[in-house]
Amino acid sequence: MSVQYESLPHAGMYLDAFGVQAPAELPGNQVWPRRPGVFVRAVAVSVEVPGEGEASAPPVPLVREAVVGQLGLVPKWVKSASDAKLRSTKLVNARQETVTTTTAFRDAWLAGQRCIVPMQAFQEEDYRSGKAVHTRIARVDGRAMGAAGLWERWVGASGEEIISYCLLTVNANSHALIHRYQQPGAEKRMLAILNEGSFDAWLQARPDKAKEFLRPYPAEKLTANPIQKLHKIKT
């Protein structure tokens, strides 16, 4: 399953594709575990409760914001920053089937801390030649993708703060494209890419309904190309 992806190359793409202003400082183009990346979450909006005899307040529209955090979730119960460093590299992907029961991800899921992770492409490894060939997978039309994720805020005893996020994955054994990649004989997993029209619904859905948005992205809308020069993952 993918643990490395390309962020959006231009600040204007965040507004065009996700309706948010880009962060003042954009992270680097390549994102991998413990590197900074951008995710989009819903902003809490206070609602003024009408007094007796007043008309009901109109529904408050969902507001999104773009946040910079590290890839690799740091649960609230982690004891120290050094422990967070060790755990986060293993908490990059959350499985759709077990996200509600896995200790590391359950609290963020139940708290509704879902997010959208903007990306231009993600990477997989092709072993069909007998060796790993790093492959770039993007949309056929070249547009940005929004992957489903979870975010968390960890605060240490000394006040140190880590904002982090992870990527949700779904089974892809039967996916026409992704089944070609990853380790032979292993279960195939795929990032849960969201449809553009479901962004707000995903961010504000009840926890018991949110899994309905997690499904494989259509293979015919994706294209795969070998990468000539690989940016190596450093942890």
Residue-wise pLDDT tens digits, 75-101:
999 999 999 999 999 999 999 999 999
Q: Tokens for 140?
A: 């056929």
Q: Which one has a higher pLDDT value, 88 or 58? A: 88
| 8 Å CB contact between 44 and 203 | no
Q: Taking residues 102-107, what's their average pLDDT? A: 98
CATH of domain 5-44+61-120+143-168+193-219: 3.90.1680.10
Q: Which one has a higher pLDDT value, 216 or 60? A: 216
Q: Taking residues 11-15, what's their average pLDDT? A: 97
| Residue 25: Cβ-neighbour burial (10 angstroms; 0-12, 13-18, 19+) | exposed
Q: Using 50, 70 and 90 to split pLDDT, how confident is the model at 57?
A: low
DSSP per position, 17-30: HHSSPPPSS---SE
Note the pTM of the prediction, 2 decimals: 0.92
Residue-wise pLDDT tens digits, 173-206:
999 999 999 999 999 999 999 999 999 999 999 9
